């Protein structure tokens, strides 16, 4: 393009921090996790809207919504003919220009049927752009083995399902298969089963890909038959480096490689084996194919060619006017949207949704159950992806249940079928599917009950009768005598050497997966237990025995510090560890607490724990438990329960939920539970609600969680109260509390958002815990630590250990102040919300005054008051000598349009967010002004006519944030039509306050004033106070660092909108 371009990126899902940082480095602005308002605004402002398309519910949901007029490009990052990634006729009609990434795509019938008038000017091929810069200075390195490399997605949604098996058959001496991509334990297990583990080098994600390509002899890239792959970047890079590829003719790959010229294309596993062996025994052919591949890549894949084409497309589009388009005005369900996204590949799902013919339904749903891994995937447009997005859609839950049942995951299948029924899919065949899974896991009473209902609805349905008889036969064989059951209930350790599961829970817990977990943790020596299971380190095998023990002891200290963080330490406390292993932490903690018990699924671990703890304090018991409950332990018997490096190994949501319920039961009211789990940045983990297969060993790889998923499990489903939550990749640490018997319901939730404000937060929290309303037990304090680089967390946790009702939440990355506010509002329990800026202070009765006002005036939605102004960091209400104040006017919406008059410390009803939504998180400094404008026309605001706060005027922060504040306020005024209507902006001016007025304010310390120039009349010294104070009471000129206040810096609530123009220089709006 001949004109300069400004690129912005809107990410519908959270972008990887590395990708966001890279885009910003290249001069692009990135908006992460956008809302509808932001999308509309950005599309409306853009000259060209460029979608990177593959099937997922977020994209289709957006395309189905009403959007402004635009020039639209769809760049299809899919081959287009394999479900779920289908290019449909509707997509091609919707877009102005379609870019495909492989010539193969243009051969699909959907493109052949398009008229030449439409095709020629509006469709083109642009290969996906690989990053060849990272191959700069590429130079092949000598190596001892014959290396066959695979670089890419390590998942059967993409790679060949028998990758390990067919590689193992390759008959080459000293061969090594180097696999780079997210770790997949299943591949390692397969290699171990086949006895060829030493032939594979599983490296996980590799940033320096050049170093791998430099030692490869062949690029073995066998993908699955229904791959959606197009212009594979890793294949382009291998060819660019001159590494000859061997590929299957699936997807767009067959158009990237020319058989016997730039690589070899094979049709089956035998040919793949033969091709690799041929290249080993014919090095001259390797060199020829590699040279050709390198030359071909440089001619066809160079990034400059792609960018030139895209710029030509942009130039062409700019000649056309923007146009309005609407996919459909009809509201459709998640299942219907999924079906539409599949185009002609959706016939089975359409029949399942609409047919009334039972034979037809059973046939197509059997085919749905056997859907390919690509169609089932959880991330890229598959059944589970849509099911997770539309979790209240009964048909998506049904289809997920069918797939899970086929995969042998019957516990999770039961959960899905049950959800489908409760969501309206109540046909008797779904009850039948549920009964099949119940019978498979021996939930025989449930299966019998359901089948009786099915037979009543469909008496001639033979399969139900057959399974019903099977259930009756099983029940007869497994019937236990009453005496035997009573004897079992007396056994203290619920797991015997045969690893049997308690019969009372076998119907609701994935007992077979439990058995596999127990098998993994039952090792044969204390050394293996310590250094191959409990404490693992990549360097452990290079350490001497002494070094191992030193590392072990260091890990004990660091782990116990994390476990006890923010927990009130009381020596008389009774403590329990879940998954205690060999007692690594128990030994240390028994020195601190009156009693420390431990439970573990592995009888071997408990055996070794008794050995390890023999020379320590014996103030506690160890129990082998059945891996899902705490039946040996009494109700309300512990003050503190903790678990570290345990739950991230559990691949069963039913087991996790059972543990959480049991921990809640054994905790005393007011007791604490602290837990460590993995987030999704760790490789090879399942979704939080995954129910592991009954016949698969997952080793260390359990389920992963987001902070929201973990909160919902602990708070919503189990009933705990949140105390703190810290996200620090790849870990999430959470502390919750068993509610007191007298439930605490706060009146006010005070939000403290912090980023690099360590020097202010202590004073902020002291101010809050000394509020009169907090002293009455009616305030909760919610601290959102936005990934600060400073030590606010330690200070927050110090306060948590001394004061109740303080919640601490650390986010994994920095987010805007308004994203932090929204996060806090969603977990707040108070009727009213107020923000507590870290560098401002409240009058001691401020929260009580404003809370009482809202209580007594139910028609008022928001109340605000005046503030004193100080230039002294960490000044206090009692001692401040500030001689100015903000003097806000009575509320008037027209005045709000002229300037923000709400002040920095309002209080508002939480219910407003249910009615109007939350603060817009894309703003950094003016988001509250936008929210007040949004609700101010229809809601009643009131000014409380007293000074209730102390505002810190941070001049350095003002200078730093003025441009942002000005621009955001201007954009908001433009959005609300304030600029267009010619509304003149006003400046907020401070009011002087005399020392006499200052001293008369409530909660002030009595002070002696020594006048520099004494009055001749001694009596006048007692009555005439100085009026200004700034000359007679000189103060230090403080130079404060920039601090993120409740709006990123300084007085945004007062000065967003152009007030005090000498402090906020900005463009002349008039």
Q: Which residue has the higher pLDDT, 155 or 799?
A: 799
- Contact between 348 and 385 (Cβ < 8 Å): no
707: confidence class by pLDDT, cuts 50, 70, 90: confident
116: confidence class by pLDDT, cuts 50, 70, 90: low
Task: Give the SS3 label for residue 739.
Answer: coil
pLDDT reported for residue 183:
59
C-alpha distances out from residue 964 to 177, 923, 1066, Å: 52, 9, 10
Determine how many CB atoms are found less than 10 A away from the CB of residue 637.
16
pLDDT in tens, 212-236: 999 999 999 999 988 888 889 999 9
User: Residue 640 belongs to what H/E stretch?
Assistant: strand 638-643
Task: Give the SS3 label for residue 105.
Answer: helix
893: confidence class by pLDDT, cuts 50, 70, 90: very high
The CB-based long-range contact list for 591-597 (8 Å cut-off, 24+ gap) reads 591/616, 591/617, 593/619, 593/640, 594/619, 595/619, 595/620, 596/620, 597/621, 597/622, 597/623, 597/633, 597/638
775: confidence class by pLDDT, cuts 50, 70, 90: very high
pLDDT in tens, 825-843: 988 989 999 999 999 999 9
* 200: alpha, beta or left? (left if phi > 0; alpha if psi -120 to 50): beta
Does residue 38 carry a pLDDT above 80?
A: yes
What integer best gives the mean pLDDT of the chain? 85
Average the pLDDT over 783-793 and give the result. 93
Does residue 1051 carry a pLDDT above 80?
A: no
Question: Which residues does 336 contact at the CB level (< 8 Å), separation at least 6?
Answer: 353
Least confident of 41-45, 64-68, 960-964: 960-964
Does residue 958 carry a pLDDT above 70?
A: no
- Contact between 866 and 910 (Cβ < 8 Å): no
Does residue 136 carry a pLDDT above 50?
A: yes
Angle at the Cα of 758 from the Cα atoms of 755 and 762, rounded to 5 degrees: 120
- The arrangement of strands across the sheet holding 97-100 comes to 49-53, 72-76, 97-100, 123-125
pLDDT in tens, 925-956: 999 999 999 999 999 999 999 999 999 987 65
- Burial of 1013-1041, coded b for 16+ CB within 10 Å and e otherwise, reads eeeeeeeeeeeeebeebeeeeeeeeeebe
Average the pLDDT over 537-542 and give the result. 70
Does residue 1053 carry a pLDDT above 60?
A: no
Helix, strand and coil percent figures for the chain, each rounded to 5: 40, 15, 40
pLDDT reported for residue 871:
92
d(CA 180, CA 184): 10
> Cis omega (within 30 of 0) on the bond before 854?
no
Does residue 961 carry a pLDDT above 80?
A: no
Determine how many CB atoms are found less than 10 A away from the CB of residue 748.
24
pLDDT reported for residue 519:
87
pLDDT reported for residue 118:
52
Least confident of 274-278, 506-510, 513-517, 767-771: 506-510
DSSP structure string for 1016-1069: SSTTHHHH---S--TTTS------PPP---TTSSS-HHHHTTS-STTTS-----
Does residue 491 carry a pLDDT above 60?
A: no
527: confidence class by pLDDT, cuts 50, 70, 90: confident
Does residue 1052 carry a pLDDT above 60?
A: no
Average the pLDDT over 364-371 and give the result. 94
- Contact between 596 and 575 (Cβ < 8 Å): yes
277: confidence class by pLDDT, cuts 50, 70, 90: very high
487: confidence class by pLDDT, cuts 50, 70, 90: very low
DSSP structure string for 816-844: -HHHHHHHHHHH--SSEEEE--TT-EE-T
Give the tokens for residue 514.
């439990």
d(CA 820, CA 784): 6
pLDDT reported for residue 114:
67
Q: β-pairing, 245-247 with 264-265?
A: parallel
User: Residue 638 belongs to what H/E stretch?
Assistant: strand 638-643
Q: Residue 945's Cα: distance from chain center in Å?
A: 43
Domains with residue ranges and CATH for the chain: 35-127+307-318 (no CATH), 132-296 (3.40.50.2000), 343-480 (1.25.40.10), 511-719+733-737 (3.40.50.150), 748-1009+1044-1054 (3.90.550.10)
Percent of the chain with pLDDT over 90: 56
Does residue 337 carry a pLDDT above 80?
A: yes
Task: Give the SS3 label for residue 282.
Answer: coil
pLDDT in tens, 724-734: 999 888 899 99
Does residue 708 carry a pLDDT above 60?
A: yes
d(CA 142, CA 215): 7
β-bridge mates for residue 264, sequence order: 246
Determine how many CB atoms are found less than 10 A away from the CB of residue 93.
11
User: Residue 179 belongs to what H/E stretch?
Assistant: strand 175-180
pLDDT reported for residue 115:
54
pLDDT reported for residue 515:
83
Least confident of 25-39, 462-476, 839-853, 998-1012: 998-1012
How many residues appear in the chain? 1070
Q: Which 8-state DSSP code applies to residue 208?
A: -
Give the tokens for residue 357.
């013919």
Q: Which residue has the tokens 């899970």?
A: 404
pLDDT reported for residue 488:
41
Q: Which residue blocks in 757-856 are alpha helix, DSSP H?
A: 758-769, 772-775, 792-802, 817-827, 846-856
> Cis omega (within 30 of 0) on the bond before 1030?
no
DSSP structure string for 111-141: HHTS-HHHHHHHEEE------GGGGTT----
pLDDT reported for residue 505:
32
Closest C-alpha among 530, 582, 578, 577 to residue 551? 530
Average the pLDDT over 20-37 and give the result. 81
Half-sphere exposure in the Cβ direction for 221 (13 Å, CA): 35
The CB-based long-range contact list for 313-319 (8 Å cut-off, 24+ gap) reads 313/73, 313/97, 313/99, 313/124, 314/1, 314/5, 314/48, 315/1, 315/2, 316/97, 316/121, 317/48, 317/71, 317/73, 317/96, 317/97, 318/47, 318/48, 318/71
- Burial of 973-998, coded b for 16+ CB within 10 Å and e otherwise, reads beebebbeeebebeebebeebebeeb
Percent of the chain with pLDDT over 70: 88
Does residue 486 carry a pLDDT above 60?
A: no
- Contact between 266 and 276 (Cβ < 8 Å): no
pLDDT reported for residue 121:
60
1015: confidence class by pLDDT, cuts 50, 70, 90: very low
- Contact between 375 and 83 (Cβ < 8 Å): yes
d(CA 836, CA 767): 10
Closest C-alpha among 394, 352, 369, 361 to residue 461? 361
Closest C-alpha among 757, 753, 907 to residue 843? 907
Q: What angle do the packed helices 428-440 and 394-406 form, to 10 degrees? A: 30
pLDDT in tens, 96-112: 999 999 999 988 888 87
Give the tokens for residue 960.
């730093």
- Contact between 1003 and 878 (Cβ < 8 Å): yes
Average the pLDDT over 228-251 and give the result. 94
């Amino acid at each position: 393009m001949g004109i300069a371009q400004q690129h912005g990126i809107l990410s519908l899902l959270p972008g990887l921090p590395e990708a966001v940082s890279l885009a910003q480095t290249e001069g692009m602005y990135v908006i992460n996790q956008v809302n509808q308002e932001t999308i509309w605004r950005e599309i409306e402002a853009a000259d060209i809207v460029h979608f990177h398309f593959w099937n997922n519910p977020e994209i289709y949901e957006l395309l189905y919504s009403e959007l402004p007029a635009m020039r639209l490009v769809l760049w299809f990052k899919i081959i287009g003919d394999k479900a779920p990634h289908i290019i449909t006729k509707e997509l091609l009609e919707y877009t102005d220009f379609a870019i495909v990434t492989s010539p193969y795509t243009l051969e699909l019938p959907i493109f052949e049927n398009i008229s030449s008038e439409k095709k020629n000017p509006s469709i083109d091929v642009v290969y996906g752009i690989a990053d060849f810069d990272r191959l700069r200075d590429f130079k092949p390195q000598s190596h001892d083995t014959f290396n066959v490399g695979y670089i890419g997605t390590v998942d059967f949604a993409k790679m060949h399902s028998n990758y390990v098996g067919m590689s193992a058959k390759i008959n080459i001496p000293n061969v090594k298969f180097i696999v780079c991509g997210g770790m997949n334990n299943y591949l390692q297990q397969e290699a171990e089963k086949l006895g060829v583990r030493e032939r594979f080098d599983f490296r996980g994600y590799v940033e320096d890909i050049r170093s791998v390509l430099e030692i490869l002899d062949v690029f073995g890239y066998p993908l699955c038959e229904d791959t959606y792959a197009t212009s594979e970047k890793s294949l382009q890079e291998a060819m660019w480096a001159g590494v000859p590829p061997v590929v299957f003719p699936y997807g767009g790959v067959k158009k990237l490689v020319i058989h016997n010229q730039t690589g070899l294309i094979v049709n089956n596993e035998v040919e793949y084996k033969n091709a690799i062996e041929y290249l080993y025994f014919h090095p001259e052919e390797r060199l020829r194919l590699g040279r050709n591949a390198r030359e071909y890549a440089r001619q066809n894949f160079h990034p400059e060619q792609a960018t030139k084409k895209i710029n030509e497309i942009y130039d062409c589009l700019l000649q056309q006017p923007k146009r309005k388009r609407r996919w459909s005005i009809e509201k459709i369900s998640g299942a219907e949207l999924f079906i539409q996204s599949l185009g002609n590949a959706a016939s089975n799902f359409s029949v399942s949704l609409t047919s009334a013919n039972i034979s037809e339904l059973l046939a197509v749903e059997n085919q749905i159950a056997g859907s390919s891994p690509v169609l089932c995937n959880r991330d890229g447009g598959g059944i589970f992806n849509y099911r997770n997005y539309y979790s209240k859609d009964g048909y998506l839950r049904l289809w997920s249940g069918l797939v899970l049942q086929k995969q042998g995951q019957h516990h999770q299948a039961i959960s899905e079928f049950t959800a489908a029924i409760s969501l309206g899919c109540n046909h008797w065949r779904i009850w039948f599917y549920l009964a099949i899974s119940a019978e498979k896991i021996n939930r025989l009473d449930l299966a019998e009950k359901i089948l009786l209902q099915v037979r009543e609805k469909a008496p001639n349905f033979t399969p139900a009768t057959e399974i019903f008889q099977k259930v009756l036969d099983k029940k007869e064989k497994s019937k236990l005598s009453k005496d035997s059951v009573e004897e079992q209930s007396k056994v203290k350790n619920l797991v015997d050497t045969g690893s049997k599961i308690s019969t009372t829970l076998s119907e609701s817990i994935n007992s077979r997966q439990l058995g596999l977990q127990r098998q993994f943790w039952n090792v044969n020596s204390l050394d293996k237990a310590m250094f191959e299971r409990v404490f693992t380190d990549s360097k452990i095998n290079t350490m001497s025995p002494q070094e191992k023990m030193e590392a072990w002891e260091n890990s004990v200290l660091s782990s116990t510090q994390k476990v006890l963080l923010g927990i009130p330490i009381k020596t008389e406390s009774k403590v329990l560890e879940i998954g205690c292993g060999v007692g690594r932490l128990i030994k240390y903690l028994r020195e601190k607490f009156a009693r420390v018990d431990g439970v573990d699924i592995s009888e071997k671990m408990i055996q070794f724990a008794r050995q390890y703890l023999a020379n320590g304090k014996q103030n506690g018991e160890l129990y082998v438990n059945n891996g899902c409950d705490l039946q040996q332990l009494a109700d309300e018997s512990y003050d503190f329960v903790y678990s570290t490096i345990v739950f991230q190994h559990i691949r069963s949501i039913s087991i996790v939920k059972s543990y959480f319920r049991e921990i809640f039961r054994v905790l005393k009211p007011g007791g604490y539970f602290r837990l460590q789990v993995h987030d999704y940045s760790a490789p090879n983990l399942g979704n939080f609600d995954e129910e592991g297969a009954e016949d698969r060993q997952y080793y260390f790889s359990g389920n992963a969680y987001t902070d929201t998923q973990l909160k919902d499990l602990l708070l919503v489903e189990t009933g705990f109260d949140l105390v703190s939550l810290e996200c620090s990749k790849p870990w999430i640490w959470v502390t919750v509390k068993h509610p007191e018997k007298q439930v605490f319901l706060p009146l006010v939730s005070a939000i403290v958002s912090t980023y690099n404000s360590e020097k202010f937060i202590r004073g902020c929290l002291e101010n809050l815990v000394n509020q009169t309303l907090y002293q009455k037990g009616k305030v909760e304090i919610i601290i959102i630590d936005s990934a600060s680089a400073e030590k606010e967390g330690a200070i927050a946790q110090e306060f948590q250990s001394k004061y109740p009702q303080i919640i601490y939440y650390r986010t994994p990355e920095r987010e805007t102040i308004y994203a932090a506010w929204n996060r806090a509002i969603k977990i707040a329990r108070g009727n009213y919300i107020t923000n507590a800026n870290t560098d401002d202070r409240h009058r001691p009765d401020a929260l009580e005054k404003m809370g009482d006002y809202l209580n007594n005036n139910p028609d008022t939605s928001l109340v605000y008051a005046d503030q004193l102004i100080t230039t002294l960091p960490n000044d206090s209400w009692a001692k401040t000598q500030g001689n100015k104040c903000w003097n806000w006017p009575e509320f008037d919406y027209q005045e709000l349009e002229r300037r923000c008059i709400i002040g920095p410390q309002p209080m508002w009803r939480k219910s407003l967010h249910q009615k109007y939504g939350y603060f817009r998180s894309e703003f950094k400094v003016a988001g509250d002004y936008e929210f007040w404008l949004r609700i101010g026309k229809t809601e009643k605001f009131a000014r409380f006519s007293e000074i209730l706060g102390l505002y810190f005027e941070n001049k350095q922060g003002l200078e730093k944030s003025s441009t942002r504040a000005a621009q955001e306020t201007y954009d908001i005024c433009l959005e609300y039509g304030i600029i267009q209507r010619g509304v003149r902006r006003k400046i907020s001016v401070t009011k002087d306050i005399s020392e006499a007025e200052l001293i008369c304010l409530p909660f002030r310390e009595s002070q002696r004033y020594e006048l520099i120039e004494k009055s001749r009349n001694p009596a006048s010294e007692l009555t005439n106070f100085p009026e200004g104070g700034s000359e007679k009471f000189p103060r230090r000129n403080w130079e404060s660092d920039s601090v993120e206040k409740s709006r990123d810096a300084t007085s945004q609530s007062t000065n967003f909108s152009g007030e005090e123009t000498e402090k906020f220089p900005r463009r002349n709006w008039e």
